[in-house]
Structure 1
C-alpha cells in the first residue's frame, strides 16, 4: 500500500509539479490538495495522511500556523516544508517538529535535486 500525502501550496502550477513528483517518482498516493493553511488543517483532519507537504507563505493562514495547529491535534504528524522561505522561519518550523525541508525553486529536471528530495523523504520514514 503506497504512502499517502496531502500537498498544500498557494500555487496551482507548483501543486501540479509536486503531485506529479510524488505520484510518478516516489509512488505515493496524493489524497488531497489545498491552497492555504486553513485547507492544510482541514485536509489533514479528514485524511490523516502519512505525510503533509506544506508551503510556508500562503494566504489566510500560513504554513507555520497550520503546522502548529496540526501538531496540537496530531503530535506525530509527518510534515515536510516545501518553501522558498529561508532563515529563522524554517528553523522554527524544524524546531517545532517538521520532519524535513525542501527549498524552492523545485528543480524536477535535475537528477541531483530529485535524489536529494527522495533521500529527505526516506529520512522522514526511518
Structure 2
C-alpha cells in the first residue's frame, strides 16, 4: 500500500488533542509514515508514546455495559412474548398489550417503554 508521508501538521494536531491508549493505532500509523525530520519529530513521538503508556483504558468510559445488558434483557422479554399471526396469508409478529406504568408521563419515551417492560410479570406467570 502506498501511504503518504506524515506531515508535521498531523503530529501537532495530535499533540493538541487528549489522546489515550485507544489512539495507539493512529499514532503507530503516523510513526510508520514518518520518513524525515526525525530530529524534530522524535521528541514529539516520545511525548505521544508517553501519553499512551500513562493512559488508562476503562471499559466504563468507552462501553457502558450495564445499559446494554438491561436493554438486551428487555428485548428478550419482548421477544418471548411475540407470536406469529397470519393476516390475509401474510405472517406478522404481534405482541400482547403491555400496560404503561402510570406516573411516568413526564419521562422520555424510552424511559416509559423501559418501565412498562420492566413491570411485566415473570415469564412463568403469563
TM-score (norm 2): 0.24
| Structure with higher strand content | 1
The structure richer in helix per residue is 2
